[in-house]
Amino acid sequence: MRSAQAQKTSSKVLRNILNFTVFLFIGSFLGALAFFIFFWIRPAQTVVPNVAGTSVEQARKMLENAGLKVGQVHGEGTVQFTVPQAQSKVRKGRTVNLFCEEPRKFVVPNLVGVPRETAETILRGMGFKVRIVQMPFKGVDGRVMGIHPPPGSELKKGEEVSILIDVGEPGRD
């Protein structure tokens, strides 16, 4: 006959196996239920529109119409690409970052000796802000004596260029 100790041990083992089986079944059922719920009730998705070649404002409108938000905007000018990429499927409400072309740079021309009005017209036409610095000097009145930043420097549109203008001999009125 089996001893009482052996019966106790075998019933404990059977109880542990039964508990394990019940928990395995419950866990598998809950895991499968979560899996099916995720695929049946998935969050709404949308496709990231291709906004390359558009302005930031146009891209913002297109993305908002698709149910997306605009995140960071890198650079200026027209949009070159987005992250996440165009035509990829994402959840609605996702943030899309825009990467734009860098602003075009212009070379500061050498305008030393040019009349003030001509220099201003040229610089403003290039998109620079013009700051006039007047200085009395022995020379022809109203001509550019110097320019800062120096000629050949690359600047973005809207940056400032200072021109030093000769206002005639000192002490003469």
Global pTM reads 0.47
- Residue 85 pLDDT: 92
pLDDT on residue 5? 77
Residues in the chain where the model's pLDDT stays below 50: none
pLDDT at position 58 is 95
Closest CA to 48 of 83, 78, 12: 83
Among the listed residues 134, 126, 113, the one whose alpha carbon sits nearest the alpha carbon of residue 161: 126
